[in-house]
Amino acid sequence: MDKLNDLFLFSIQLFVIVFIMYTIYKFIYDRFLQHKSTLLENYPVLGRIRYLCEAIREPMRQYFGSEDGFGTRDKLDWVYKAAKNQKNYISFALGSKTNEAKYILKHANFALNDNEVSDDMSVTFGADLQHPYTSHSIVIRSAMSDGALSPEATRAFSRASYLDQFPINTGEGGLTSNLFETHAIPDTHDYLVTRSGSAWQRALYRMAYKIVSPIYAIRLYRKLLLPKEERYRYILDREKLVFFHPDWNAPLESFPQEVPEDMPDIVLQIGSGLYGVRNATGEFDPQRYKKVMRFCRMTEIKLAQGAKQTGGKLTGSKVTSDIAYYRGVNAGVDLFSPNRFPYGKDLETFIGFVDNLKTLSEKPVGIKIVISDKDYVDTLLATMKQYSDEGKRIIDFITVDSGEGGSATAPLAMMEAVGLPLDSSLFILDTLLKKHKLRDQVKVIASGKILTPDDVITTLALGADMISIGRGFMLSAGCIRARVCSGATGQACPVGLATQDPGKRASFHVIEKSRTIANYHHNLINGVKEMLAILGKKKVNMLNIRDLTYIKKDGEVFYDVQEYLHQKVHV
């Protein structure tokens, strides 16, 4: 025992000596040798402390900072508890009082019991097409590209989507191998590239699986079998112990005729870079698109999003050899997509491109927009109505992103500087769709700081058919809002969720996180049902704007929300 105490004391003394020597070295270097930082030259030690505090400010913000951006800290707590499947009750009062303007729900005098509310939360897109899509859920995980997210995170979201039957949007990075996480290699698989391990490699895998952990075993097997530059291009079929990825060079005839049953419901997003659906020269490739759509349910063309109205941005640190392979670009180089969609020079050209996609896939095609001006929306819908009356095919759905939207990499000057709030955007879109008699043809997906069941109910009542959620799903996957997602600062996501850093990614456990993500969605839908019950609504599609009351910041109450919004947005 005495020897242990002596060793402990010696370790402390050694640490103190090394720390003092390092501090003296830094003092001399900062004060006399470096001449880049005036602060460090004048205040060598205090300056270093200042930079340390600056570095940990954002990662530690959630523990000591304000959460006004979410209205109240309790909303964040709800998400975290829902993800962990914990009881989501609160005692006494909200943790932080907000005096902001808000919507409240008009409850029924005679509420329903939970079991009287229908479990049907389905939404159908493109009902007149050869391959319409019916989502089992009113919630979709919004666009998050593989590359912006780590491979492990993409696999976790893919698995969670399949587990709890909600759709996920690929983001403009396209359909990558990691979205095939739940897919098993069928008997006939000419559309796949496969790699099988030798007998001794399989034996080492099984030994590591039993002695250490499944996560370590897969990591070891991957290193033993695959070259470094292709290591995360493959997905492991855990039953057959065979790695695979889609072979996009295989003929179209070899791909499945229908979306495989063991795949999640995937919405393919096409951005201005055309990643995943372009040829070697960067132009749209109809054959590649047809192959990709054998695994996807719908297509969304991204014209803009709330946090950035430019093209997508992926810093060079995130463009690994695998991401470069998926997107057809050079590894390690900043990847900034063009601002304008290449087939969106004018409305006629763009709607023609939409019609081409529908012809190629016979599946629903929609767009993602941000609304800053009602006249733009009016012109778009008037053109769509004209085309519809002429018997031409038009857009099946519109995803409207609010000016409060988030992004891993966005220009600071554009963040919340372009785009109306979600309630105004939704009201404009819903009103103008009805004006042009398109509301029954075009579904509306709404996105923007939606976290909890009351957010979902309010947004549906304002006119949305479906809810797109990004933040809530990120939080459920372990995000601590450190705000270093872009990698541009030299820091990496500390939980391995939004980074390509191998060390950080290694701690992101795909199976465990897929469960917390699925839990969040499951409890979100249950919460929606509970709120429908107190509103006296048996079905979610019975919600409408008359179920809301609006209270301004000064306390003025509007029982007719439609009248209030008419006055507010002048449409």
What pLDDT, in 10s, does the model give residues 544-558?
Answer: 999 999 998 888 999
Chain centre distance of CA 10: 50
DSSP assignment of 178-226: GGGTTPPPPS--TTEEEEE--HHHHHHHHHHHHHT-HHHHHHHHHHHHS
The Cα–Cα gap between 525 and 547 comes to: 19
Top pLDDT among 208 and 304 is at 208
Among 2-16, 144-158, 244-258, 488-502, the range with the most confident prediction by mean pLDDT is 244-258
Question: Using one digit for the tens of pLDDT, what is the confidence trace for 249-298?
Answer: 999 999 999 999 999 999 999 998 899 999 988 899 999 999 999 999 99
Strand partners, 235: 244
SS3 labels along 23-87:
HHHHHHHHHHHCCCCHHHHHCHHHHHHHHHHHHHHCCCHHHHCCCHHHCCHHHHHHHHHHHCCCC
pLDDT(490) > 90: no
List CB contacts of 266: < 8 A, sequence separation 6 or more: 161, 167, 168, 169, 170, 175, 179, 295, 296, 297
Query: With bands split at pLDDT 50, 70 and 90, how would you rate the model's confidence at 493?
Result: confident
The Cα–Cα gap between 335 and 341 comes to: 16
**Which pLDDT score, from 0 to 100, does residue 95 have?**
58
Query: With bands split at pLDDT 50, 70 and 90, how would you rate the model's confidence at 413?
Result: low
pLDDT(6) > 80: no
Helix pair 422-435, 561-569: axis angle to 10 deg: 100
Which range is least confidently modeled, 327-336, 472-481, 495-504?
327-336
**Which pLDDT score, from 0 to 100, does residue 402 have?**
83
118 contacts 470 by C-beta, under 8 angstroms = no
Which range is least confidently modeled, 22-26, 91-95, 182-186, 555-559?
91-95
The pLDDT > 90 percentage for the chain reads 55
Residue showing tokens 């913000």? 61
Query: With bands split at pLDDT 50, 70 and 90, how would you rate the model's confidence at 63?
Result: low
Which range is least confidently modeled, 5-9, 165-169, 218-222?
5-9
The Cα–Cα gap between 132 and 362 comes to: 8
Question: Using one digit for the tens of pLDDT, what is the confidence trace for 520-537?
Answer: 999 999 999 999 999 999
Among 9-23, 33-47, 52-66, the range with the most confident prediction by mean pLDDT is 9-23
Q: How far separated are the first and last CA of the chain, in Å rounded?
A: 80
**Which pLDDT score, from 0 to 100, does residue 41 have?**
78
Measuring CA to CA, which residue among 448, 509, 525 is closest to residue 142?
A: 448
pLDDT(317) > 80: no
pLDDT(306) > 70: no
**Which pLDDT score, from 0 to 100, does residue 449 have?**
87
Among 33-37, 184-188, 347-351, 410-414, the range with the most confident prediction by mean pLDDT is 184-188
Tokens representing 120 are: 């049907």
pLDDT(486) > 70: no
Top pLDDT among 480 and 296 is at 296
pLDDT(15) > 70: yes
Which range is least confidently modeled, 92-106, 137-151, 252-266?
92-106
Query: With bands split at pLDDT 50, 70 and 90, how would you rate the model's confidence at 311?
Result: low
Strand partners, 169: 267
**Which pLDDT score, from 0 to 100, does residue 92 have?**
59
Measured torsion, CA atoms of residues 133, 135, 138, 140, in degrees rounded to the nearest 10: -90
- Single-letter amino acid code for the residue at 299: T
**Which pLDDT score, from 0 to 100, does residue 508 have?**
85
pLDDT(412) > 60: no
**Which pLDDT score, from 0 to 100, does residue 334 have?**
77
pLDDT(411) > 60: no
**Which pLDDT score, from 0 to 100, does residue 52 have?**
78
User: Residue range 99-125: average pLDDT?
Assistant: 92
The Cα–Cα gap between 392 and 383 comes to: 11
List CB contacts of 467: < 8 A, sequence separation 6 or more: 138, 139, 140, 445, 446, 447, 450, 456, 459, 460
Query: With bands split at pLDDT 50, 70 and 90, how would you rate the model's confidence at 59?
Result: low
User: In a 3-state reduction of DSSP, which class is residue 120?
Assistant: coil
Query: With bands split at pLDDT 50, 70 and 90, how would you rate the model's confidence at 67?
Result: low
The Cα–Cα gap between 315 and 307 comes to: 17
Please state the length of the chain. 571
- What is the CA angle 415-417-421, rounded to 5? 95
DSSP assignment of 470-528: SHHHHHHTT----S-TT-TTS---TTSSS---HHHHTT--HHHHHHHHHHHHHHHHHHH
**Which pLDDT score, from 0 to 100, does residue 308 have?**
55
**Which pLDDT score, from 0 to 100, does residue 507 have?**
81
Measuring CA to CA, which residue among 150, 485, 149, 142 is closest to residue 306?
A: 142
82 contacts 519 by C-beta, under 8 angstroms = yes
pLDDT(501) > 90: no
Which range is least confidently modeled, 31-45, 71-85, 167-181?
31-45
Q: Is 64 exposed, middle or buried (0-12, 13-18, 19+ CB in 10 A)?
A: exposed
Query: With bands split at pLDDT 50, 70 and 90, how would you rate the model's confidence at 164?
Result: very high
The Cα–Cα gap between 177 and 20 comes to: 50
**Which pLDDT score, from 0 to 100, does residue 298 have?**
98
Query: With bands split at pLDDT 50, 70 and 90, how would you rate the model's confidence at 326?
Result: confident
Query: How does the average pLDDT of the chain come out, rounded?
Result: 87
Among 1-5, 84-88, 250-254, 491-495, the range with the most confident prediction by mean pLDDT is 250-254
